[in-house]
């Protein structure tokens, strides 16, 4: 999705803006642009279709100017093109960058056109530039003009406005799209993600919904949604400056796949005792809430939804608590019936996914006992707006394809299941066994990663295929879905997942030698059933690729390639069996030459509906 960076300093800011944009590239975008004020009244703007590097290459000599804004655009209104790239300007003096969608832009545009404003793009954003300009013409200060404009906007926005006539300030407004102010010494910054500003500061103020702020080199003035001046506390970021580096790996995705043993260690740290899990991992009030929970509703999107589906199996089987799972974009538009004593759990890597956030906000009025976020970003809207939170501690995830965020979500959800089980008479021996299984996960993940060369070879057999089926049963069905999603998003091969027992109800008709079938076969209570499903495929000439436990007794032959995984506790198999599927997608994408970290048409954090 779109990214915003802004800076106001005594030094030239163009390089800071470009570096900020580079650090936001992972979010996915199609064009980039920036504007700086070189001297009062002199606005310089540069935009390019394509990568941030194309923008940097277009800068012939450094752009002078201490106040500037920059943007990476992911098209919503209007095709990806230079004319639609941000910043958008009004009267060649006022520039705007914007994340989100202005839903009433058409009616606002019609009114502005009647006032004589001419539009030079197809974007919804351009109305903001002209509206602020129009308000300025009535004598309002830049701050007042932005506040008056914000009141008329419907939809979601994070916007930054720069007026070359008042070059000593930036004015920003937040409603639905995150914005963070970075505090420097004699210089200040703004961005849609603190990661963009780590090279220049570690002190951040996170704006709240409805905030409008004026930022100068030495001051930050914020008014809340009601127009009252407010102080928002500054927080120190502990994210590593190098979080945006590949650490010697060819792609962020590969680095993040290999980060997983350590990420899981971090997710487990200080959350487990010898024979139980600590409620406090979810917040100080968690114990009181968990003692009352009778039902859990989980809401999430994409990969995070797949982790929710695994959690449903675990919750009902291990903790004896009923659980429903739903995609956020569906849930938010239903009128769900909330059972008494229900806990709402949202799952999100970014904590800014528009549908998940909207579902949380909608659900707050439905009578849930409490809301709990499982999330990787502590300062995200989802965490801040939930009663309880589990931080997955995966570290910054840059690759669009989610990897370590997923496995650490699974760890968090496993701890949640056990925490709820502790309040619901879980067998103490089972609880101790599960705690032990969680503790042994990092080593098992390390061992699984040693299979990479075998999986790389296997990938060669997929690269010329157009379709693939992934099969799993029980808690491996969501892992099959996750494997199919990974393959789709980075290799562009169509992939579907089926609960293996469903094959005979339709998909068997698809089986032939051109449709590779990936099977996930840990040694669990459904193994024998799964073997029957594998035979159904073999009998129809299908070629199978089986990821199996060493003891599962699958043998490679001309119609079946078997990759043996280390022994793992059956309940932890969803975490372990995810890794070979991530590696398979990665190596297929490498052979196909796709853009692994920024696959076409996708964004890391989907902050629009
Ligand atoms: C994962 O590979 C995807 N890129 C995507 O499905 C992602 O999981 C989804 O957009 C939800 O994001 P979130 O976890 O940040 O809410």
Question: What does the pLDDT look like over 95-107, one tens digit per residue?
Answer: 999 998 888 999 9
Supply φ then ψ for residue 253, to 5 degrees. -60, -45
Q: Which residue stretches of the chain have pLDDT < 50?
A: none
What was the pLDDT predicted at 62?
A: 66
Q: Identify the sign of the CA torsion 549, 550, 556, 561.
A: positive
Which of 1, 299, 304, 609 is the best mutation target for the ligand 1 pocket, counting ligand atoms within 8 Å of the beta carbon and taking the most?
304
Which residue has tokens 């603190």? 194
For residue 79 the two structure tokens come to 């095709």
324 touches 297 (CB < 8 A): yes
Spatial CB neighbours of 16, under 8 Å, sequence gap ≥ 6? 5, 7, 9, 189, 199, 200
Question: Which of 145, 148, 98, 143 is CA-nearest to residue 123?
Answer: 98
Q: Which of 2, 301, 323, 375 is catalytic?
A: 2
Q: For 321-386, where are the E strands, in sequence order?
A: 322-327, 342-348, 370-375
SS3 per-residue string spanning 497-510: EEEHHHHHHCHHHH
Q: Which of 51, 109, 486, 604 is catalytic?
A: 604
Please identify, by atom number, the ligand 1 atom nearest to the C-alpha of residue 302: 6
Please identify, by atom number, the ligand 1 atom nearest to the C-alpha of residue 602: 4
Active site residue 375: no
237 vs 398: CA distance, rounded Å: 17
1 touches 607 (CB < 8 A): yes
Three-state secondary-structure class, residue 203: strand
Three-state secondary-structure class, residue 87: coil
102 vs 252: CA distance, rounded Å: 33
368 vs 73: CA distance, rounded Å: 37
Ligand 1 mean position, distance from CA 250 (Å)? 22
For residue 125 the two structure tokens come to 């954003």
Which of 305, 306, 353 is the best mutation target for the ligand 1 pocket, counting ligand atoms within 8 Å of the beta carbon and taking the most?
353
Sheet with 3-8, edge to edge strand ranges: 42-49, 31-39, 67-73, 3-8, 188-191, 180-183, 203-206, 235-236
Active site residue 604: yes
120 touches 126 (CB < 8 A): yes
Minimal-distance CA residue to ligand 1 atom 5: 302
Ligand 1 mean position, distance from CA 256 (Å)? 15
Spatial CB neighbours of 48, under 8 Å, sequence gap ≥ 6? 31, 32, 33, 54, 55, 58, 82, 85
What was the pLDDT predicted at 28?
A: 76
Q: Is the pTM of this model over 0.85?
A: no
Ligand 1 mean position, distance from CA 394 (Å)? 14
Three-state secondary-structure class, residue 418: helix
Please identify, by atom number, the ligand 1 atom nearest to the C-alpha of residue 605: 15
491 vs 599: CA distance, rounded Å: 8
342-348 vs 370-375, strand pairing mode? parallel
What was the pLDDT predicted at 240?
A: 65
470 vs 485: CA distance, rounded Å: 10
Please identify, by atom number, the ligand 1 atom nearest to the C-alpha of residue 489: 2
Ligand 1 mean position, distance from CA 327 (Å)? 12
Ligand 1 mean position, distance from CA 300 (Å)? 9
The 8-class DSSP code of residue 512 comes to S
Which of 1, 27, 302 is the best mutation target for the ligand 1 pocket, counting ligand atoms within 8 Å of the beta carbon and taking the most?
302
Minimal-distance CA residue to ligand 1 atom 7: 302
Q: Identify the sign of the CA torsion 559, 565, 568, 574.
A: negative
Largest CA distance in the chain: 80
The 8-class DSSP code of residue 265 comes to H
Ligand 1 mean position, distance from CA 402 (Å)? 6
Cβ count within 10 A of residue 134: 20
Ligand 1 mean position, distance from CA 301 (Å)? 6
Cβ count within 10 A of residue 67: 25
Which of 177, 303, 409 is the best mutation target for the ligand 1 pocket, counting ligand atoms within 8 Å of the beta carbon and taking the most?
303
Please identify, by atom number, the ligand 1 atom nearest to the C-alpha of residue 353: 16
Ligand 1 mean position, distance from CA 396 (Å)? 14
What was the pLDDT predicted at 39?
A: 83
What was the pLDDT predicted at 342?
A: 98
Which of 349, 392, 412, 589 is the best mutation target for the ligand 1 pocket, counting ligand atoms within 8 Å of the beta carbon and taking the most?
349
49 touches 82 (CB < 8 A): yes
With a Cβ cut-off of 6 Å, ligand 1 is lined by: 301-304, 348-350, 353, 356, 400-402, 489, 605-606
Ligand 1 mean position, distance from CA 403 (Å)? 10
Please identify, by atom number, the ligand 1 atom nearest to the C-alpha of residue 405: 14
The total number of residues shown for the chain amounts to 609
Ligand 1 mean position, distance from CA 304 (Å)? 6
Minimal-distance CA residue to ligand 1 atom 10: 302
Please identify, by atom number, the ligand 1 atom nearest to the C-alpha of residue 486: 2
14 touches 32 (CB < 8 A): no
Minimal-distance CA residue to ligand 1 atom 4: 401
> How many Cα neighbours within 13 Å face the side chain of 291?
4
Minimal-distance CA residue to ligand 1 atom 9: 302
What was the pLDDT predicted at 241?
A: 60
Report the first-to-last Cα separation within the chain, whole angstroms: 11
Please identify, by atom number, the ligand 1 atom nearest to the C-alpha of residue 401: 2
């Amino acid at each position: 999705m779109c990214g915003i960076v802004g800076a106001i300093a005594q030094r030239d800011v163009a390089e800071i803006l470009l570096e900020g944009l580079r650090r936001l590239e992972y979010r996915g975008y199609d064009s980039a642009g920036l504007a700086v004020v070189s001297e009062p009244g002199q606005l310089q703007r540069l935009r390019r279709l394509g990568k941030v590097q194309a923008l940097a290459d277009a800068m012939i000599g450094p752009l002078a100017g201490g106040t500037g804004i920059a943007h990476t655009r992911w098209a919503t209104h209007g095709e990806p093109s230079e004319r639609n790239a941000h910043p958008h300007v009004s009267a060649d003096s006022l520039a705007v960058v914007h994340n989100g969608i202005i839903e009433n832009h058409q009616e606002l545009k019609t009114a502005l056109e009647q006032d004589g404003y001419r539009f030079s793009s197809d974007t919804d954003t351009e109305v903001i530039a002209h509206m602020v300009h129009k308000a300025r013409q009535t004598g309002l200060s830049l701050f007042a003009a932005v506040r008056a404009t914000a009141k008329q906007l419907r939809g979601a926005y994070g916007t930054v406005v720069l007026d070359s006539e008042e070059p000593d300030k930036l004015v920003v407004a937040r409603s639905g799209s995150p914005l963070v102010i970075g505090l420097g010494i004699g210089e200040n910054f703004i961005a849609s993600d603190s990661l963009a500003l780590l090279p220049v500061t570690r002190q951040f103020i996170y704006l709240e919904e409805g905030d409008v702020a004026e930022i100068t080199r030495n001051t930050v003035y914020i008014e809340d949604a009601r127009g009252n001046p407010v102080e928002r506390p500054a927080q120190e970021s502990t994210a590593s400056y190098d979080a945006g580096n590949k650490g010697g790996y060819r792609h962020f995705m590969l680095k993040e796949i290999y980060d997983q043993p350590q990420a899981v260690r971090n997710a487990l740290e200080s959350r487990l005792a010898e024979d139980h899990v600590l409620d406090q991992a979810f917040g100080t009030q968690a114990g009181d809430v968990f003692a009352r929970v009778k039902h859990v509703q989980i809401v999430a999107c994409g990969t995070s939804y797949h982790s929710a589906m695994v959690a449903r199996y675990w919750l009902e089987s291990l903790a004896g608590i009923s659980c429903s799972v739903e995609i956020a974009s569906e849930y938010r538009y239903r009128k769900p019936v909330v059972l008494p004593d229900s806990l709402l759990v949202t799952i999100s890597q970014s904590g800014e996914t528009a549908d998940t956030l909207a579902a949380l906000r909608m659900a707050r009025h439905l009578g849930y006992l409490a809301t709990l976020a499982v999330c990787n970003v502590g300062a995200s809207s989802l965490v801040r707006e939930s009663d309880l939170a589990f931080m997955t501690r995966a570290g910054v995830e840059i690759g669009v394809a989610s990897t370590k965020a997923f496995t650490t979500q699974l760890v968090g959800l496993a701890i949640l299941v056990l925490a709820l089980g502790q309040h619901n008479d879980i067998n103490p021996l089972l609880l101790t066994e599960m705690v032990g299984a969680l503790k042994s996960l990092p080593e098992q993940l390390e061992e699984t990663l040693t299979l990479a060369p075998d999986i790389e070879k296997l990938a060669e057999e997929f690269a010329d295929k157009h379709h693939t089926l992934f099969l799993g049963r029980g808690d491996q069905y969501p892992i099959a879905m996750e494997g199919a999603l990974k393959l789709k998003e980075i290799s562009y091969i169509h992939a579907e997942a089926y609960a293996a027992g469903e094959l005979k109800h339709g998909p068997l008709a698809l089986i032939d030698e051109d449709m590779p079938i990936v099977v996930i076969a840990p040694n669990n209570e459904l193994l024998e059933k799964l073997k029957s499903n594998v035979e159904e495929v073999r009998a129809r000439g299908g070629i199978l690729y089986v990821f199996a436990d060493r003891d599962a007794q699958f043998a490679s032959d001309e119609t079946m390639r078997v990759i043996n995984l280390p022994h793992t506790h059956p309940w932890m198999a969803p975490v372990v069996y995810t890794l070979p599927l991530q590696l398979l997608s990665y190596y297929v994408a490498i052979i196909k030459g796709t853009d692994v970290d920024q696959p076409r048409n996708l964004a890391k954090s989907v902050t629009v509906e």
